[in-house]
């Protein structure tokens, strides 16, 4: 039985001071028994947030990292730096990074491999545009993204990562995929994992849905058999995140 994992992606929001105010509101109210809970915060918020969460079971995540170990990569943050300040998870290949910062499938794969090598759990984001959905190529496209993100990843490693299916048309738009639409693609992702590796790995890997999740739709989405929780943007910055984590099916 896979434990659900619900991660908040704070994106470029909250100064360290504001981050601590939000953590104070959320930290004692989210149920970490039913689901693993992760706050993926901006880099500068990681140290204070990790300190504020140290007596809880909520993990801290980053939203990006470099695929190199160290050196002349101005502006980048390495896996070792993240590990040293208590980070456990890292979002890789979010559609906003693909769209605005030229993140390619190849870079995503390099980052996934580096995160795994260092002991960080990648939350690998995949998902189609509205145009692709309308052309009925969603599953084909997402299969390619998954295969390319996991190139050279072993079955054992793959079983421990998290994949977030995030249709781009649903991110930050208030338009949520229906539970059937989300389940169809999450199930196709599990199928491609079984094809690349084996059924055991497909059964282990956790697949989140992301895209305008809120306290009212979380229960139905997370109740689908191939949806193992969510990656939550806008609503992770509000008290509604408590309703999402403490969802009822
Ligand atoms: C996200 O940023 O990953 C996301 C899903 O955003 P939102 O929940 O705001 O759609």
Q: Is 94 an annotated catalytic residue? A: yes
How do residues 127-157 score in pLDDT, each as one tens digit? 999 999 999 999 999 999 999 999 999 999 9
For the chain, 249 residues long, give each residue's pLDDT as a single digit of tens.
899 999 999 999 999 999 999 999 999 999 999 999 999 999 999 999 999 999 999 999 999 999 999 999 999 999 999 999 999 999 999 999 999 999 999 999 999 999 999 999 999 999 999 999 999 999 999 999 999 999 999 999 999 999 999 999 999 999 999 999 999 999 999 999 999 999 999 999 999 999 999 999 999 999 999 999 999 999 999 999 999 999 998
CA of 72 to the centre of ligand 1 (A): 32
CA of 124 to the centre of ligand 1 (A): 14
Domains of the chain: 4-245 (3.20.20.70)
Is any ligand 1 atom within 6 A of the Cβ of residue 62?
no
Is any ligand 1 atom within 6 A of the Cβ of residue 217?
no
CA of 198 to the centre of ligand 1 (A): 30
Is any ligand 1 atom within 6 A of the Cβ of residue 171?
yes
Is any ligand 1 atom within 6 A of the Cβ of residue 9?
yes
**Atom from ligand 1 closest to the CA of residue 125:** 3
Nearest Cα residue to atom 7 of ligand 1: 233
| Nearest-angstrom CA–CA distance, 20 and 46 | 10
Is any ligand 1 atom within 6 A of the Cβ of residue 123?
no
């Amino acid at each position: 039985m896979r434990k659900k994992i619900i991660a908040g992606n704070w994106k470029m929001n909250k100064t360290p001071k504001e981050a601590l105010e939000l953590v104070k509101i959320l930290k004692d109210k989210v149920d970490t028994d039913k689901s693993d809970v992760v706050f993926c915060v901006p880099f500068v918020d990681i140290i204070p947030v990790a300190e504020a969460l140290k007596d809880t079971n909520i993990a801290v995540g980053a939203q990006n990292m470099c695929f190199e170990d160290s050196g002349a990569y101005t502006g980048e943050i390495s896996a070792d730096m993240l590990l040293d300040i208590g980070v456990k998870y890292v979002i890789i290949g979010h559609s906003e990074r693909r769209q605005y910062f030229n993140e390619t499938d190849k870079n995503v794969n390099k980052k996934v491999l580096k995160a795994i090598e260092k002991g960080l759990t990648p939350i690998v984001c995949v998902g189609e545009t509205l145009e692709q959905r309308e052309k009925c190529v969603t599953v084909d496209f997402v299969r390619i993204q998954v295969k390319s993100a996991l190139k050279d990843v072993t079955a054992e490693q793959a079983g421990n990562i998290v994949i977030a299916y995030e249709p781009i048309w649903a991110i930050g738009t208030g338009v949520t995929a229906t539970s059937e639409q989300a389940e169809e693609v999450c199930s196709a992702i599990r199928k491609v994992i079984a094809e690349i590796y084996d059924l055991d790995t497909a059964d282990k890997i956790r697949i989140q849905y992301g895209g305008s999740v809120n306290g009212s739709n979380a229960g139905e989405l997370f109740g689908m058999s191939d949806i193992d929780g969510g990656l939550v943007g806008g609503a992770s910055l509000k008290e509604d995140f408590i309703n999402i984590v403490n969802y009822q099916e």
